[in-house]
Amino acid sequence: MASDLISADMVSASEFPFLVEKYGVRSVPHTVINEGQGPLGTPSERELVDAITRAVV
Protein backbone atom coordinates (compact mmCIF):
# COMPACT_ATOMS: atom_id res chain seq x y z
CA MET A 1 0.00 0.00 0.00
CA ALA A 2 2.94 2.30 0.60
CA SER A 3 3.94 2.38 -3.07
CA ASP A 4 2.02 1.96 -6.31
CA LEU A 5 5.08 0.25 -7.76
CA ILE A 6 4.89 -2.66 -5.37
CA SER A 7 2.69 -5.71 -5.77
CA ALA A 8 2.72 -8.43 -3.14
CA ASP A 9 1.46 -12.00 -3.46
CA MET A 10 0.97 -14.56 -0.74
CA VAL A 11 1.49 -17.92 -2.45
CA SER A 12 0.59 -21.22 -0.82
CA ALA A 13 3.58 -23.47 -1.50
CA SER A 14 1.65 -26.70 -1.10
CA GLU A 15 -0.90 -25.67 -3.73
CA PHE A 16 1.60 -24.46 -6.31
CA PRO A 17 4.50 -26.90 -6.26
CA PHE A 18 5.76 -25.66 -9.62
CA LEU A 19 6.68 -22.38 -7.94
CA VAL A 20 8.47 -24.21 -5.14
CA GLU A 21 10.61 -25.79 -7.81
CA LYS A 22 10.98 -22.63 -9.87
CA TYR A 23 12.31 -20.60 -6.96
CA GLY A 24 14.22 -23.40 -5.24
CA VAL A 25 12.21 -23.09 -2.06
CA ARG A 26 13.65 -25.14 0.78
CA SER A 27 11.90 -23.56 3.73
CA VAL A 28 8.99 -21.23 4.31
CA PRO A 29 8.37 -18.41 4.47
CA HIS A 30 10.51 -17.71 1.39
CA THR A 31 10.31 -14.28 -0.20
CA VAL A 32 10.91 -13.72 -3.91
CA ILE A 33 11.69 -10.17 -5.05
CA ASN A 34 11.33 -9.60 -8.79
CA GLU A 35 11.99 -13.29 -9.51
CA GLY A 36 15.16 -13.31 -7.37
CA GLN A 37 15.66 -14.58 -3.86
CA GLY A 38 14.72 -12.29 -1.05
CA PRO A 39 14.99 -12.74 2.73
CA LEU A 40 14.24 -16.16 4.19
CA GLY A 41 12.13 -16.52 7.28
CA THR A 42 10.22 -13.52 8.54
CA PRO A 43 12.20 -10.32 7.97
CA SER A 44 11.60 -7.13 9.91
CA GLU A 45 10.06 -4.25 7.96
CA ARG A 46 13.50 -2.62 7.71
CA GLU A 47 15.16 -5.84 6.50
CA LEU A 48 12.50 -6.30 3.83
CA VAL A 49 12.69 -2.71 2.61
CA ASP A 50 16.50 -2.90 2.46
CA ALA A 51 16.27 -6.15 0.48
CA ILE A 52 13.83 -4.52 -1.93
CA THR A 53 16.09 -1.49 -2.36
CA ARG A 54 19.09 -3.74 -3.07
CA ALA A 55 17.10 -5.83 -5.55
CA VAL A 56 16.11 -2.91 -7.75
CA VAL A 57 19.47 -1.16 -7.83
Partner 1 sequence: MEILKEKDRTNLAEIFRSITEQVTLVMFTQEMECPPCHMTRGLLEEVSHLSDTITLETYEFVQDREKATALGVDKIPATVLLGDRDYGIRFFGSPAGYEFNALIQDIIDIGKRSPGLPQDITDDLAALTQPVHLQVLVSPT
Q: What is the signed CA dihedral for 48, 46, 49, 39, rounded to 10 degrees?
A: -20
Confirm or reject binding of residue 37 to partner 1 (CB under 8 A).
no
* Nearest alpha-carbon partner for 52 in 41, 4, 25, 36: 36
Provide the minimum distance between the beta carbon of 49 and partner 1 in the complex, in angstroms, as a whole number.
5
Provide the minimum distance between the beta carbon of 56 and partner 1 in the complex, in angstroms, as a whole number.
5
3-class DSSP assignment, residue 53: helix
Q: Which residues bind partner 1 (CB under 8 A)?
A: 1-16, 19-20, 23, 25, 28-35, 38, 45-46, 49, 52-53, 55-56
